[in-house]
Amino acid sequence: MVRVHEKHRGTAALEQARRAKTYRTLTDVDMLVEARSFVRAGWSQGANARDKYGIPVSPINGHAVEFCIRGACIRVLRPSLSELSTEFCVPSSYISTKIASALGFDNSKELVAYNDADGRTQEHVIEHLTARIRALRRGIGKP
């Protein structure tokens, strides 16, 4: 469990409640539409996210400006996978699998390999996201 300093406990509880509501209402399509906008703004290979200097940072870091496909989804979900795990008792492996599944992959390792493949471009990733959004809207796909 995440330990919160006593004077911040009320604020943390309110933030947790706000986040919980967001997670209950966010569909896979919603997540991918938002993730696509992050990838369009800036794409990364070899790291979930990078700052304007190209240095790897957490995708939820305010300085992140480039995102891999997985990092963009994490950014949309807002807190890191470990925060989701500790605050909501959801195993991070489940969250990673959920993101991969929404994107049409069996697991996070396949997802990362797709994003980081030699010759992969930002446009390829945007096209993949667009295809998944269309498939999910038509009711085709794993999720």
pLDDT at 64 > cutoff 90: yes
Decide if 107 is inside a domain.
yes
Question: Which has the higher per-residue pLDDT, 25 or 117?
Answer: 117
The band of 60, judged by pLDDT with boundaries at 50, 70 and 90, is confident
The arithmetic mean of pLDDT across residues 53-64, rounded, is: 93
Beta-carbon contacts of residue 50 (< 8 Å; ≥ 6 apart)? 42, 44, 56, 57, 64, 65, 66
C-alpha span between 78 and 115 (Å, rounded)? 20
Could you list the residue range(s) of the whole structural domain that residue 118 is in? 6-137
Does residue 143 belong to any structural domain of this protein? no
Number of C-alpha atoms within 13 angstroms, CB side, residue 109?
A: 0
- Residue 142 falls within a domain, yes or no? no
Confidence band, pLDDT 50/70/90 cuts, at residue 8: very low
Number of domains in the chain: 1
Pair 42, 53: CB distance under 8 Å: no
Task: Give the contacts of 15 (CB within 8 A, at least 6 positions apart).
Answer: none
**For residue 1, is it within any domain?**
no
pTM here is 0.75
Tell me what the mean pLDDT of segment 54-62 comes to: 92
